[in-house]
């Protein structure tokens, strides 16, 4: 299948494939991943026309960037040249993977970029973004330092991640912002309240993550599923006990609609996010977290799913906004989200 549809990251950003590949799960966040299959998945994505690859310097503490480097080095030149890299920085981690908060100081911005360029083996980063707001550093200082990197050609575009409307406005007043990366899915509708209207007003796009709520609404999670202690899902409120049972009942309602349309639950969930761009008059690019070629194939199938008004109404009746049981992060991580204030 060839992905021909594209989106533009806001009024100032690049044109990208309608679906991006999020590479985080290839570096441990969801338990072990197979390196050869991860590289093959990135190659298959590029082959299918996916141009946007999303990573973070803290995904496996550099592991994910080195993996992308390997995948790009071993991809055919024509495909490599199409790849656009979206990179997050700022999360502070130790050698055991522990988390120490976020550093958005100008020195951290520039140091992180210098190391990422080396690990990725590229001379510029296409979209660079702080993973979270550093509460001790005004966003103007963080974005100002990124603007200097743009001036020098090390970064092409500035993005944001998980920040709220006020921070978005302050950032956009400092330098052009291409996109906001934020969790947005059938069961994560928070951005619709204030954030999407602000983005529309300012001409900023969305790269949406968690469109399958970490696999919860993929249709592949079973009630008795267990996760290793180092798997994000072992600690995610939505995957615990009664919350999990409640959320999987929503998935079964969605499955009925998917079956009627002859597609998978994953494809309905991603197609719903794709359909929200025109509805909110904002470019919305789902990042899918596939780490195998089979999952990627399924996810890209969403591009061939057409949802009409009746389909959308049925989907939203099956999974109403705010229907999810459990927050999208554990309390300590929720406290770090400027987007939830």
Q: Which of 119, 40, 106 is nearest to 296 (CA)?
A: 40
β-sheet bridge partners, residue 31 = 29
Distance in Å, CB of 263 to ligand NAP, minimum = 12
Distance in Å, CB of 30 to ligand NAP, minimum = 4
Quick one: 298 or 311, whose CB is closer to ligand NAP? Answer: 298
Q: Which residue has the tokens 């522990």?
A: 98
Q: Is 59 a catalytic residue?
A: yes
Q: Round to whole Å and give the CA distance between 183 and 209.
A: 5
Q: For 262-275, give the DSSP string.
A: TS-HHHHHHHHHHH
Quick one: 288 or 318, whose CB is closer to ligand NAP? Answer: 288
* Cα 65 to Cα 38, 56, 59, distances in angstroms: 12, 7, 8
Quick one: 204 or 288, whose CB is closer to ligand NAP? Answer: 288
Distance in Å, CB of 162 to ligand NAP, minimum = 5
Judge residue 94's burial from the number of C-beta atoms within 10 Å of its C-beta, 0-12 exposed, 13-18 middle, 19 or more buried. Answer: exposed
Distance in Å, CB of 157 to ligand NAP, minimum = 15
Q: Round to whole Å and give the CA distance between 20 and 16.
A: 8
Distance in Å, CB of 208 to ligand NAP, minimum = 8
Which residue sits closest to ligand NAP, CB atoms considered?
22
Quick one: 187 or 307, whose CB is closer to ligand NAP? Answer: 187
Distance in Å, CB of 152 to ligand NAP, minimum = 25
Catalytic residue among 30, 59, 184, 329: 59
Quick one: 41 or 174, whose CB is closer to ligand NAP? Answer: 41
- Sorted by sequence, the CB contacts under 8 Å of residue 47 that are 6+ apart come out as 79
Rounded to 10 degrees, the C-alpha dihedral 213/179/168/92 comes to: 60
Judge residue 290's burial from the number of C-beta atoms within 10 Å of its C-beta, 0-12 exposed, 13-18 middle, 19 or more buried. Answer: buried
State residue 89 phi and psi, 5-degree precision: -140, 175
β-sheet bridge partners, residue 286 = 208
- Please say whether the dihedral angle defined by the alpha carbons of residues 169, 173, 178 and 181, taken in this order, is positive or negative: negative
Footprint of ligand NAP on this chain (CB under 6 A)? 22-25, 30, 54, 88, 131, 161-162, 181, 209-215, 218, 220, 266, 287-291, 295, 298-299
Quick one: 181 or 275, whose CB is closer to ligand NAP? Answer: 181
**Residues marked as catalytic:** 59
């Amino acid at each position: 299948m060839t992905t021909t549809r594209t989106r533009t990251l806001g009024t100032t950003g690049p044109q990208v494939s309608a679906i991006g590949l999020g590479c985080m799960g290839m570096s441990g966040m969801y338990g072990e991943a197979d390196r050869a299959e991860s590289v093959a998945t990135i190659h298959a994505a590029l082959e299918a026309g996916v141009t946007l690859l999303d990573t973070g310097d803290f995904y496996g503490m550099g592991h994910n960037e080195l993996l992308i480097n390997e995948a790009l080095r071993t991809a055919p030149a024509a495909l490599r040249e199409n790849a656009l890299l979206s990179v997050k920085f700022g999360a502070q981690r130790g050698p055991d993977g522990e988390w120490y908060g976020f550093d958005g100081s100008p020195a951290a911005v520039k140091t992180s970029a210098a190391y990422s360029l080396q690990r990725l083996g590229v001379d510029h980063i296409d979209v660079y973004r702080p993973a979270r707001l550093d509460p001790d550093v005004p966003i103007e200082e963080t974005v100002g330092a990124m603007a200097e990197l743009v001036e020098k050609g090390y970064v092409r575009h500035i993005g944001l991640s998980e920040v709220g409307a006020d921070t978005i406005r302050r950032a956009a007043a400092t330098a052009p912002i291409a996109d906001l990366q934020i969790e947005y899915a059938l069961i994560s509708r928070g951005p619709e309240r204030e954030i999407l209207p602000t983005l529309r007003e300012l001409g900023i796009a969305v790269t949406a993550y968690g469109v399958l709520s970490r696999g919860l609404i993929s249709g592949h999670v079973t009630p008795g599923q267990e996760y290793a202690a180092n798997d994000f899902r072992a600690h995610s409120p939505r995957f615990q006990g009664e919350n999990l049972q409640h959320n999987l009942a929503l998935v079964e309602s969605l499955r009925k609609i998917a079956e009627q349309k002859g597609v998978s639950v994953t494809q309905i969930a991603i197609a719903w996010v794709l359909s929200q761009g025109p509805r909110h008059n904002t470019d919305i690019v789902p990042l899918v977290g596939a780490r195998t070629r089979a999952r990627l194939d399924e996810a890209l199938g969403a591009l061939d799913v057409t949802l009409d008004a009746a389909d959308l109404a049925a989907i939203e009746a099956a999974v109403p906004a705010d229907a999810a049981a459990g927050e999208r992060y554990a309390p300590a991580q929720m406290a770090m989200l400027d987007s939830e204030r």
